Amino acid sequence: MACARLAALRSVLLRSIGASPRKIIWPATSRPHPALGFSSAPRLVESSSSMAAAGTEVSCGLLAGRHDAYDGIILDPESIPQSPATFTEALQVSMAAWRGAGVKGVWMRLPPTHAHCIGHAVDAGFEFHHAEKEYVMLTCWLPRDVPSPLPPNASHQVGVGAFVVNEKREVLVVQERLGPLRGKGVWKLPTGLVIAGEDITEAAEREVGEETGIKAKFDAVLAMRQAHGVAFGKSDMFFLMALKPEPGQEKVSFQAAELECAAWMPLDDYVALPTHTPLNLRLMNSCLAYLDGSYRGLWARRVQSGFKATQDLLMFGEQSLSGGRDEDAWLGLVK
Amino acid sequence: MACARLAALRSVLLRSIGASPRKIIWPATSRPHPALGFSSAPRLVESSSSMAAAGTEVSCGLLAGRHDAYDGIILDPESIPQSPATFTEALQVSMAAWRGAGVKGVWMRLPPTHAHCIGHAVDAGFEFHHAEKEYVMLTCWLPRDVPSPLPPNASHQVGVGAFVVNEKREVLVVQERLGPLRGKGVWKLPTGLVIAGEDITEAAEREVGEETGIKAKFDAVLAMRQAHGVAFGKSDMFFLMALKPEPGQEKVSFQAAELECAAWMPLDDYVALPTHTPLNLRLMNSCLAYLDGSYRGLWARRVQSGFKATQDLLMFGEQSLSGGRDEDAWLGLVK
């Protein structure tokens, strides 16, 4: 490669590179910094403008991509050759150029059509980062003297459980057809996993509807439980929620693929079952305190996270607020 | 393959296969059913015994593995040939045998040493499921008439934020050196991501210590926030916690790689900052209610999840209990 071309590439690449050490390098394809509460609006402006500046195409016979605001290159999946031989050659040339230009992290997203390139990427020094059905994400941290600060992949699955009590003080319970509880005759509350992109409150309402046919609305988060080493070695965050059923739903159906049966059971009978674990007993205490009115649990409300249009689900417990318009006024959010 | 050998394989494979439709098929390498509250102890006994029964080695010149209790095969990574040609041949023969034996889901974990086999697995009908630095997990759902019910991979990253107020009613705040807030002079609470396997309470204490040098202990979960489409398209669950600092820590240091500065700021000054988003204002309300004693937030306590030895982190809010020995007695857990 001619020196002039490399110099031009270097100047493009270095445009957003600073000298300070950086601990976390986010790919520009996702939000650069997770919106972890107490962040402020100006970053959205900067994020937007720096993305635009960083979006300059980098393609000089190399693998095409754009550099992000974190000294990294995000390769364009569309431009990656499908032929392993062509891919390998382009990658070799590209990595030399990236090193020369001070690039640190390289993000490469390979779809199933490029699965035969994965081995060659690993040979070149790339590591697996995460995968979805649609792709494997590989990363390469180029600096030899600095440990990789690339961010980890998702760490938790999220589960929900529903405490649903009707006007006769009966609790909605199920027996599972599958898994380790099969054939044990153990009654339990309806539970399930949150689907990607689903609010936990929606997940609880959906699971109750799917499993038992009962229409019920979220009312409160009562308790949470974090456990480690659950599915594929990941952690599990479980939310126990109270839901209010529409009145007059005597008949309980059940999802035959998942359940042996489902029923309304007198609450006292459920509490007295001998099958509860220590964790269950403690969760039960939250349920009973909620029922007798001594514990409200947490409210849930969709709230604008910043000055952008999207809303996030906020769960909060102070009793002075109810999530209504009065609260907006109190917080100075409406005039 | 001789008919007798196939029949023997089939009988081994079918040993734990039932006729009922199944919605979720878990690999036996992880817990078959996530411990989503309100499950009971007997399943652990069954899980253990069924794992033993299902652990029988299946290796008749095919890819070796063991079948799980969910009609699935978990391939043994150690026994998978590294040569793509040998791998492809063995996979072809194996898949025919598995189909004949009624196997449904196949789980294949390929380490970087086998990266050149990934393309051939995809050619044979396998799909990416998830990946860690150490491996790509591929799955194949064999039945042609039933949609795949294989469970999803992890859906959330988990973040923490810390509300730390000292005896002078000053709040611990930081300015970030990296990311979109860089150079904006925005004060915020210390935040960070939970490390794999870490309790959220530990994560909050660690982040405060790393970022500011202040020693502080978890006291309460004040609020949570769920957001979607955050990192790599996954969701984010954020926990705001109150921590109590050890008294007399006047001096605040700061982690130069991540922060511009860190300081104790009079609480009223922090509340009055013009940079708070609507979400921040609502979170602030939980903080102020906690400080004035009108809101306790949620306790956190490690609790035995079942009758096994491990403990999970339970967070609960009812005010009648404090997480002490009295509570154990109340729940009948101690004599």
pLDDT at B18: 28
In the predicted structure, residue A112 carries a pLDDT above the cut 50: yes
Contact B230 A30 (CB under 8 A): yes
Query: Is this prediction's ipTM beyond 0.90?
Result: no
Contact B154 A151 (CB under 8 A): no
In the predicted structure, residue A321 carries a pLDDT above the cut 60: no
Question: Average pLDDT, stretch B231-240?
Answer: 92
Q: Which residue has the tokens 């439709």?
A: B21
pLDDT at B54: 40
Task: Measure B197 CA to nearest chain A CA, in Å.
Answer: 6
Contact A152 B319 (CB under 8 A): no
Residue A77: φ, ψ to 5°: -55, -35
pLDDT tens sequence across B154-201 = 999 999 999 999 999 999 999 998 777 778 899 999 999 999 899 999
Q: A50-58: which pairs have CB atoms within 8 A and are 24 or more residues apart? A: A50/A16, A50/B180, A53/A15, A53/A16, A54/A16, A54/A28, A55/A28, A56/A12, A56/A15, A58/A9, A58/A12, A58/A13
Domain residue spans of chain B = 48-153, 156-291, 299-330
A33 contacts on B by Cβ (under 8 Å): 176, 178-181
Task: Measure A156 CA to nearest chain B CA, in Å.
Answer: 5
- Calpha distance A295→B156 (Å, rounded): 28
Interface check for B274 against chain A (CB to CB < 8 A): the answer is no
- For residue B335, the one-letter residue type is K
Strands in A127-132's sheet, in edge-to-edge order, are: A57-58, A65-67, A73-75, A105-110, A135-141, A127-132
- Calpha distance A278→A72 (Å, rounded): 48
Lowest mean pLDDT among A198-202, B79-83, B210-214, B277-281: B277-281
Contact B199 A226 (CB under 8 A): yes
- For residue B14, the one-letter residue type is L
Contact A222 B289 (CB under 8 A): no
Beta bridge partners of A162: A241
Lowest mean pLDDT among A217-231, B81-95, B286-300, B306-320: B306-320
Contact A37 B161 (CB under 8 A): yes
- Calpha distance B82→B86 (Å, rounded): 8
Interface check for A121 against chain B (CB to CB < 8 A): the answer is yes
Buried b / exposed e across A207-228, counting CB within 10 Å, b at 16+?
bbebbbebebebbbbbbbbbbb
What homologous superfamily does CATH list for B48-153? Gcn5-related N-acetyltransferase (GNAT) (3.40.630.30)
- Is the Cβ–Cβ distance between B322 and B56 less than 8 Å? no
A262 versus A36: the higher-pLDDT residue is: A262
CATH 3.50.50.60 fits A43-153, yes or no: no
Q: Which residue has the tokens 């070149």?
A: A124
Give the list of residues 6+ apart from residue B84 with CB closer than 8 angstroms, or none: A119, B116, B117, B119, B120
**From A160, A180, A232, residue closest to B153, measured CB to CB:** A232
B124 contacts on A by Cβ (under 8 Å): none
- Calpha distance B228→A197 (Å, rounded): 6
- Calpha distance A45→A306 (Å, rounded): 11
- Calpha distance B86→B47 (Å, rounded): 35
A128 contacts on B by Cβ (under 8 Å): 112, 131-136
**Domain covering B156-291 in this structure, CATH number:** 3.90.79.10
- Calpha distance A209→A240 (Å, rounded): 16
Lowest mean pLDDT among A11-25, B114-128, B257-271: A11-25
Which residues of B, range 53-92, sit inside 8 Å of A by Cβ? 70, 84
Q: Given its phi and psi angles, is residue A7 left (phi above 0), alpha (psi -120 to 50 degrees) or beta?
A: alpha
A68 versus B47: the higher-pLDDT residue is: A68
A136 versus A51: the higher-pLDDT residue is: A136
- Is the Cβ–Cβ distance between A73 and A105 less than 8 Å? yes
Nearest to A26 by CA among A9, A38, A41, A43: A43
B176 versus A148: the higher-pLDDT residue is: B176
Query: Mean pLDDT of all residues in chain B?
Result: 79
In the predicted structure, residue B289 carries a pLDDT above the cut 70: yes
Question: Average pLDDT, stretch B6-33?
Answer: 34
For residue B161, the Cα-to-chain-centroid distance in whole angstroms is 18
pLDDT at A242: 98
Q: Which stretches of chain B are DSSP H helices? A: 3-14, 42-54, 84-100, 118-123, 200-212, 267-271, 278-291, 325-330
Q: What is the largest CA-CA distance in chain B?
A: 82
A26 contacts on B by Cβ (under 8 Å): 179, 231
Query: Mean pLDDT of all residues in chain A?
Result: 79
pLDDT at B69: 64
In the predicted structure, residue A96 carries a pLDDT above the cut 50: yes
Interface check for B306 against chain A (CB to CB < 8 A): the answer is yes
Q: State the angle between helix axes of A3-14 and A84-100 in degrees (0 to 180), rounded to the nearest 10.
A: 70
pLDDT at B43: 24
Contact A195 B331 (CB under 8 A): no
**From A118, A133, A159, residue closest to B118, measured CB to CB:** A118
In the predicted structure, residue B332 carries a pLDDT above the cut 70: no
**From B123, B256, B289, residue closest to A320, measured CB to CB:** B289
A119 contacts on B by Cβ (under 8 Å): 84, 115-119
- Calpha distance B156→B159 (Å, rounded): 10
Contact A112 B122 (CB under 8 A): yes
Contact A34 B306 (CB under 8 A): no
Task: Measure A167 CA to nearest chain B CA, in Å.
Answer: 22
In the predicted structure, residue A335 carries a pLDDT above the cut 80: no
